[in-house]
Amino acid sequence: MPMTIRCYQCGKVYDAVLTSEETHEFPCPACGKVEVYNLAALREKAEKIIRQRTRGR
């Protein structure tokens, strides 16, 4: 699952690929700040948004 990551420290945008549901650590190519992404957490967040959108029917 390719995705675009934005470093919140320096603002650099770079591509990263999540290959499993484990936690991934991506060091920023510009400043070296490590961003941590967890696919399961992202999915949970997405499902929550979907639930909110479909609520009320």
Question: Site residues (CB under 5 A) for Zn ion?
Answer: 7, 9-10, 12, 28, 30-31, 33
Could you tell me which of 53, 4, 2 has the C-alpha nearest to residue 28? 4
**Contact by Cβ (8 Å): 22, 36:** no
Q: Which is nearer to Zn ion, 29 or 56 (CB)?
A: 29
For the bound state, the minimum distance from the C-beta of residue 27 to Zn ion, rounded and expressed in Å, comes to 9
**Is the separation of the CB atoms in 31 and 10 below 8 Å?**
yes
Pick the closer one to Zn ion by CB: 9 or 23.
9
User: Tokens 């190519």 label which residue?
Assistant: 29
Q: Closer CB to Zn ion, residue 15 or residue 49?
A: 15
